[in-house]
Amino acid sequence: MLELHAAFLALVGGTELFFAALALLNVRHGAETVAERAQWVSERLGVADTERLVAYQRAGTGLSLLRSVVGLAVVLLVLYSGLFGDVVAALEGVALPPVARGVIFFAALVVVARVASAPFSLYETFVVEEQFGFNQQSPRLWLRDFVVGLVVSLVLVAIVAGGVLLTLELFPEWWWVGAWGLFVAFSLAMLVIYPRVIAPLFYDFEPVETSDLRDAVDDVFERAGFDCEQVYTMDASSRSSHSNAYFVGFGRTKRVVLFDTLIDQMDHEEIKSVLAHELAHWKRGHIWKQLASSALRIGIVLVIFSVLIEQPWLYEMFGVPETAYAGLALGTLWIEPLVRLSAPLENRLSLRHEREADSFAVDVMGSGSALADALANLTSENLANPFPHPLYATFHYTHPPIPDRIRYIERQGDSGNADGHAGEAAG
């Protein structure tokens, strides 16, 4: 048993230590590179105060590290103090069906996790984001979002946990197959439910109708060969001045969402280039490829779970009654570090898709200048780190670093322009 405890602590603690070291290395590398390339950062990205950018990265990283360390310490304390085993034993004494006990268990975990993270969220919002001019929330709005978010999380957890535990009870040998189907169905459903039900609980969405912006949107849709009537602006400025845009859904449910902050910070050509990039994820089938990749990953994880929860040592380590929901929780502690360490495999697919989307946007716009300017604008407005450490980017970045993307886009644009001029000359 001592060997198991040593292996567990090495895996969980070692993984946390590895990612903490990566985060510190990333901040240091970013600060040094920003200082070396201060002129490029100022002239190309439009960041007038590079020290402010570096300070924002340091503040965010420091808070994230503190949150991770405290979280791990609390988890280990709960496990090794016997509190976790006592809670499971008490819950097993409740006269409810096993599935209901499991749903209560996971709902309680969500509540505890949300409440425990609240001080960090408050500090991030009203100290870090406030200090750097991003926060637009009042304490009352933050509390309202916290409560609504907690309720939504509880509903979703009850559905997923209840479904998984039910399949485990009905099909003990092959439960992971049913759970896999449930996760795939849930992922597809969320593509429709999130934009239509969940997101409107937090933000107001206004359709983009007859206007210069709508004309710009229709123009890029026509160029991309894309049909979508549902184009909305979202009042992101009610919470933060960060900017973004996204595409979500499929079939008749697909919609494009533009942050109002994005509209304020960019001209129409830049907005069109961002839209063209987002539309590429649909036109090139990236959404379905990502879903397939996610389904494969979830299937592998569930197979590992099916083996783990059958091991008596998983429960004996912390004196926990052998029950399905406790096994899933304990198994997560072993599997989560492995998922984090395998992130580069998942990120490779996303990186390739982002390259394809950038190329698509250049083709649609006929030039890469607007998209390159848009990316520079986003980096400047959001104080994003333009120079992540390569190893940090390998584990965390689903998009290529901004300087790499700008170089790639400008090369694509030059290549496209060259081909176009050559064609005109030949004609």
Residues marked active site are found at: 278, 358
257-270 per-residue burial string, b: 16 or more CB within 10 A, e: under 16: bbbbbbbebbebbb
Structure token pair of residue 302: 């569930």
Q: How far apart are the C-alpha atoms of 198 and 24, rounded to whole Å?
A: 35
Tell me if 354 is assigned to a ligand binding site: yes
Instruction: Give helix then strand counts, H and E, for the chain.
Output: 18, 4
Full strand arrangement of the beta sheet holding 245-248: 205-207, 231-234, 255-259, 245-248
Q: How far apart are the C-alpha atoms of 32 and 34, rounded to whole Å?
A: 6
Rounded to 5°, the CA angle 339-343-344 comes to 150
Q: Cα dihedral angle (120, 234, 258, 123), rounded to 10 degrees?
A: -10
Tell me if 281 is assigned to a ligand binding site: yes
Residues 300/196, Cβ–Cβ less than 8 Å: no
Instruction: Please identify which residue in the block is written with the tokens 């780190």.
Output: 385
318-345 per-residue burial string, b: 16 or more CB within 10 A, e: under 16: bebeebbbbbbbbbebbbebeeeeeeee
Q: How far apart are the C-alpha atoms of 80 and 19, rounded to whole Å?
A: 23
Tell me if 277 is assigned to a ligand binding site: yes
DSSP symbol at 240: B
Under DSSP, is residue 342 helix (H, G, I), strand (E, B) or coil? coil
Residues of the binding site for Zn(2+): 277, 281, 354
Residues of the binding site: 277, 281, 354
